[in-house]
Each structure stands twice: as C-alpha cells, then as structure tokens.
Amino acid sequence: MWHIIITSLPEMLVAMVQYTIPLAIIAFIFGLILAVITALIKFIEPSGNKLVKYPYMVIRAIFSFYVWLFRSTPLLVQLFIIFFGLPNIGVQLDPFIAAVIGFSLNTGAYASETIRSALLSVPQDQWDAAYTLGFSTPQTLMKIVLPQAVRIALPPLSNSFIGLFKDTSLASSITILEMFQVSQQITAKNFQPLLMYSLAAFLYAIICTLLSWLQHYLERRTSQYVKGSEA
C-alpha cells in the first residue's frame, strides 16, 4: 500500500500545484471582483434623475438575471455549456480558460449575495454619521461601510472559497488534468480505486483544513474592534 501511495503522490501533488490551486485562486479573485460589482449595482439606489435612473435599471436587471441564471443551474452543466457548447457558435476555449470563466461566474453569483447582505447589515446610522461629517456616498461606502461589511462577509466568503476549492474536481470533466483527474488516471492503471480516491480526498481535506485556519486568523484580525473579542 505504501509503495502505491509513494509512487502516485508526486504526480498528484504536481497536478494540485499546477491546476487545482491556481484554478481555485484565480477563479476566486475574478469571482470576488464580479461579486463586488454585482453587489454594489444591486445595493446602490440610483438618483432621481431619469437620464441616470433608466439605464441604471437596465444594467441592474442584467446583473440580476446573471445571478439568477448561475444560482439556478448546476455548476457541472455550466462548465459543459461553456466548454462543449460554445464551440457550436464558434467560441472555442482553452479548457483552463473555460474552467476559470465557469468557476468565476458561479462564485461571483453566490458571493454577490453574501456581499450585498453584508452591506445591508451595516446600520443606516453609520451612513448618517458619515454624511453629517461631509463624506460623499462613494467615500462613505469605501471608508466606513465596506470595512465593516468585510468582517460580516468573511465567514460566508470563506465557505465559498472552500466550496470552490473542492468543486475544482469538476474541471476533470472538461479535460483538465487537475488532481482528481490524475487520481482517476492512476486508478485506471493500478486498479486501486479505494486507495487512490481516498488519497485524493485526504489531500483535499488537508488544504481545506489549512484554509479554515486562515479563515479563523482573518476573522480574529478583522474583529479586533468587536466587544468581547480576544484581540
């Protein structure tokens, strides 16, 4: 048994470093950017000026449709459409690019709701206090409200990232040689599915444990000002 583990481990670790980890990190960064933009568009109320208001409502409807679409369909189906479906209309994507697009859009849709609810949880009093000091709406958002929203959004966003990290195994279905795909290939040669898939599970669990430690560290860092916190 140890012999099998020792011979297949390097190959799986290479796949993890080469595809699994970069895919998770890149998709999460793009997903977060998309999520912040989407959350702000849904959060900010347009001014009364009709020239601003109507185009804004159209943009908001487009973003709402995006969130609805990606929350209402399975991730695996989304990946299949992007990688296998789009070539039918002449859009041929590199598998890694297709995976980054699929995971980013999916993560962005979920995380946008997390960020929006975190923004809503900062009381109106904070806006009033900032306005009376002469802060503009963008300044209030950036300097006062967002920093407080980050603390609230951190645990659910960590959840999203841990979920995304494990979901990268779905990229095996669109021909990416990430860690799970490699474990399948090795299994095809040594006929040890229990051992190989358990090993893959173990490697995912190690990374996810490290991520949850990182989450606790960040939570402590951002909660220094909260009553009763240790820091």
Binding residues for other proteins, rule: CB under 8 A, are 48-49, 125-126, 128-137, 139, 143-144, 147-148, 151, 224-227
Do the Cβ atoms of 220 and 229 come closer than 8 Å?
Answer: yes
Query: Which residue number, 75 or 150, has a Cβ lying nearer to other proteins?
Result: 150
Query: Which residue number, 85 or 147, has a Cβ lying nearer to other proteins?
Result: 147
Query: Which residue number, 10 or 134, has a Cβ lying nearer to other proteins?
Result: 134
Task: Label each residue of the chain as H, E or C.
Answer: CHHHHHHHHHHHHHHHHHHHHHHHHHHHHHHHHHHHHHHHHHHCCCCCCHHHHHHHHHHHHHHHHHHHHHHHCCHHHHHHHHHHHHHHHCCCCCHHHHHHHHHHHHHHHHHHHHHHHHHHCCCHHHHHHHHHCCCCHHHHHHHHHHHHHHHHHHHHHHHHHHHHHHHHHHHHHHCCCCHHHHHHHHHHHHCCHHHHHHHHHHHHHHHHHHHHHHHHHHHHHHCCCCCCCCC
Residue 128 CB, nearest distance to other proteins (Å)? 5
Residue 225 CB, nearest distance to other proteins (Å)? 4
Residue 115 CB, nearest distance to other proteins (Å)? 17
Query: Which residue number, 149 or 199, has a Cβ lying nearer to other proteins?
Result: 149
Residue 223 CB, nearest distance to other proteins (Å)? 10
Query: Which residue number, 79 or 130, has a Cβ lying nearer to other proteins?
Result: 130
Query: Which residue number, 48 or 90, has a Cβ lying nearer to other proteins?
Result: 48
Residue 56 CB, nearest distance to other proteins (Å)? 16
Residue 50 CB, nearest distance to other proteins (Å)? 12
